[in-house]
A and B are shown apart, each in its own frame.
Chain A
Amino acid sequence: MIVAQQKPLQEIADMVSDCKKVLLVGCAGCVTVCLSGGEKETEVMSSALRIKRRLEENPLTTVTFTATRQCDPEYIAEMDEMVKDVDAIISLACGVGVQYVAERYSDKWVVPALNTNFIGGSTVHGIWEEKCGLCGDCVLHKTGGICPIIRCSKSILNGPCGGSQYGKCEISKDTDCAWALIYERMKTLGKLNKLMEIQPPKDWSTSRDGGPRRATREDVIIG
């Protein structure tokens, strides 16, 4: 899932300081799972902003709505009526959702309430870690299911490097060396010989280096 975290409340309040009525839009997708922009978080932020503005003697009226997903136009369309009389829309989605909302309501001031951090998952409740580097050409079959692109600080394909010490990365004692993990995993699988194959330089054109990407599946395109 996409992992995002809320911006400081003051930053969000500043973005809508000149507004009298705002719509806060949550997303029931990834940001609900990572507890930053679901229905509950949307209502908590709404309440906090209302209280803050009352104390500033500049009351704010809020409306809340949680879309099934903000990254699909049909779910955003459900709030067409709600946006009509608001001065701004605060989106508690990832950067994708914010852009879909801004695109649909081009005459509205749309602001992000979250910082979109990474693609990852939870390790325990309340802690999320980055797991995928979105390189567009997966190599997990070569590395025992551990991503060297994002979990190795240098994204090297023939690790480990000299900064690997006792299974930890030199950047932090709390960061596992991905290549130490890969080695142990491949050893367990009895496939250490596969690590002897030298990986050539990666073609990064499938990653961000190739510019904005698009995925197409002709067989499901309607119309």
Chain B
Amino acid sequence: MQYAPNIRIVEMTCTGNTDHRVLLQAFEEGADGVYVAGCMEGDCHFLKGNIRARKRVNAVKKLLDEIGVGGDRLEMFNLSSAQGGRFAQIANEMTERIKSLGPSPLNKSGAKKKEGDA
């Protein structure tokens, strides 16, 4: 089983712990795309963690559209930890989507992080 090598995994205790700030930080620090991989809906150990994560992801997608990064660069997927094949498939699908969108506008020359940015 292989998947695109450009994926950087950030482990969370539960997708329900995914904060708006973490998603935005990823883009600020250079990610071209971000996806959140949560458990199957209905299978959350904490009952609603993945449902809440999806709501937050959707809120950040809207914000990304508003500020010009583009909400398509962020996505939420649901799969179980036993679905290794599906994990690889999603990694490849997301990689293809981001490749077709091109680099994040934040990574284009004019918008590169400049000294003084907090």
- Give the B-binding residues of A (Cβ under 8 A): 9-10, 21, 40, 43-44, 46-48, 50-52, 54-55, 57, 59, 61-63
Please tell me if the beta carbons of A51 and B67 are within 8 angstroms of each other in the complex: yes
Query: Contact size class for B?
Result: 20 to 34
B116 partner residues in chain A, CB cutoff 8 A? 21, 59, 61
**Residues from 96 to 118 in B contacting A, C-beta threshold 8 Å:** 105-106, 110-111, 113-114, 116-118
- Whether A61 lies near B28 (C-beta < 8 A) is no
Residue ranges of B at the interface with A (Cβ–Cβ < 8 Å): 19-21, 24-25, 27-28, 63, 66-69, 105-106, 110-111, 113-114, 116-118
Having A55-B67, A55-B69, A59-B117, one finds 19 other A-B pairs with CB under 8 Å, namely: A9-B67, A10-B66, A43-B21, A44-B20, A47-B21, A48-B63, A50-B118, A51-B24, A51-B67, A51-B69, A54-B106, A54-B111, A54-B117, A55-B68, A55-B105, A57-B110, A57-B111, A59-B114, A63-B118
Nearest A residue to B27 via CB reads A51
Residues of chain A within 8 A of B114, CB atoms compared: 54, 59
CB contacts (< 8 Å) of A52 on chain B: these are 67-68
Cα distance, A63 to B24, chains bound together (Å)? 16
Which 7 pairs from chain A and chain B are nearest by CB?
A: A47-B24, A52-B67, A55-B68, A54-B111, A57-B110, A44-B20, A59-B114
| Chain A neighbourhood of B118, CB < 8 A | 46, 50, 61-63
Closest to B114 in A: A59
Q: Give the distance to chain B from A31, nearest Cβ to Cβ, in Å.
A: 16
User: Cβ of B21 and Cβ of A40 under 8 Å apart?
Assistant: yes
Question: In the complex, which residues of chain B have a beta carbon less than 8 angstroms from the beta carbon of A21?
Answer: 116
The interface residues of chain B lying within 8 Å CB-to-CB of A55 are 67-69, 105-106, 111
Assess whether A40 is in contact with B19, with CB atoms less than 8 Å apart: yes
Bound Cα distance from A47 to B24, whole angstroms: 7
- What are the residues of chain A within 8 A of B67 when measuring CB–CB? 9, 48, 51-52, 55
25 A-B interface contacts by CB (under 8 A): A10-B66, A21-B116, A40-B19, A40-B21, A43-B21, A44-B20, A44-B63, A46-B118, A48-B24, A48-B63, A48-B66, A48-B67, A51-B28, A51-B106, A54-B106, A54-B111, A54-B117, A55-B67, A55-B69, A57-B110, A59-B114, A59-B117, A61-B117, A61-B118, A63-B118
Nearest opposing residue in chain B for A61, CB measure: B116
B105's nearest neighbour on chain A, judged by CB, is A55
> What A residues does B110 contact at CB under 8 A?
57
Distance between Cα atoms of A52 and B64 in the complex (Å): 9
Q: Looking at the assembled complex, report how far the CB atom of A188 sits from the nearest CB atom of chain B, in whole angstroms.
A: 34
Q: Which residues of A contact B28 (CB under 8 A)?
A: 47, 50-51
Closest to A47 in B: B24
Which residues of the other chain, A, contact B117 by a CB distance below 8 angstroms? 50, 54, 59, 61
Which residue from A10, A47, A54, A59 sits with its C-beta under 8 Å from B25? A47
B118 to chain A, nearest CB (A): 5
B residues near A48, Cβ cutoff 8 Å: 24, 63, 66-67
CB distance from B54 to the nearest CB of A (A): 14
